[in-house]
Amino acid sequence: MTPSVATSAPSEVLLYLNGVTVSFDGFKALNDLSLVVEEGGLRTIIGPNGAGKTTMMDVVTGRTRPDAGEAFFRDTDLTRLDEAEIAELGIGRKFQRPTVFENLTVAENLELSLAGSRSTWRTLFARLTPERRERIDAALERIGLDDQRGRLAGTLSHGQKQWLEIGMLLTHDRRLLL
């Protein structure tokens, strides 16, 4: 299952797709797709409309079940899990249209995305610890919005909203971002 990689140190396979096929009413959206992404790796998937890019992400995130093939995140078979269970593994997905809380500030969006209990009571009365503040600060710097911390997310440009959503995934401890 682990491919040979020409690097100085062996890397761990994070995502492994092998022979993945998905059909919709006889149309093969994916036909025997294989893909390996190692820890710390970066892959760019390009292609025209209808090439299967979204379908591939749907398989990885549990929105679509493959007709054939294997899909593993580390040693976990993704085809046996639902979307919520897959998200809990540490797989995050960024959609084309940004989904941020427009009436909250940039920093508040990042604060809400921090991993932890999502109960109403905890969310309403949560305190921002120094460690969580550091994580937000690091994300703001990484996505280039540190000077926009107090700005309402709804007033950001489309591109800035995209970066904010990426920051929200980063603060949520995702191991794989799609």
Interhelix angle 106-113/130-143, nearest 10 degrees: 120
Please answer whether residues 14 and 38 qualify as being in contact, where contact means their C-beta atoms are separated by less than 8 angstroms: yes
Paired tokens of 42: 């970066």
Can you give the pTM of this predicted structure?
Answer: 0.74
Position 143 scores a pLDDT of 95
Residues with Cβ within 8 Å of 90's Cβ and at least 6 positions away in sequence, in order, are 73, 173, 174, 175, 176
Please answer whether residues 21 and 68 qualify as being in contact, where contact means their C-beta atoms are separated by less than 8 angstroms: yes
Beta bridge partners of 33: 20
Position 129 scores a pLDDT of 85
Position 119 scores a pLDDT of 56
Closest residue by Cα to residue 60 from 76, 46, 48: 76
For 58-109, what is each residue's pLDDT tens digit? Answer: 999 999 999 999 999 999 999 999 999 998 898 988 887 888 999 999 999 9
pLDDT range class, residue 41, cuts 50, 70, 90:
confident
- The pLDDT of residue 127 is above 70: yes
Please answer whether residues 114 and 140 qualify as being in contact, where contact means their C-beta atoms are separated by less than 8 angstroms: no
Average pLDDT of the chain is 87
**Phi, psi for residue 77 in degrees, rounded to 5:** -75, 110
Helices (H), the chain: 53-61, 83-89, 106-113, 120-125, 130-143, 158-171
Which is more confident, 118 or 139? Answer: 139
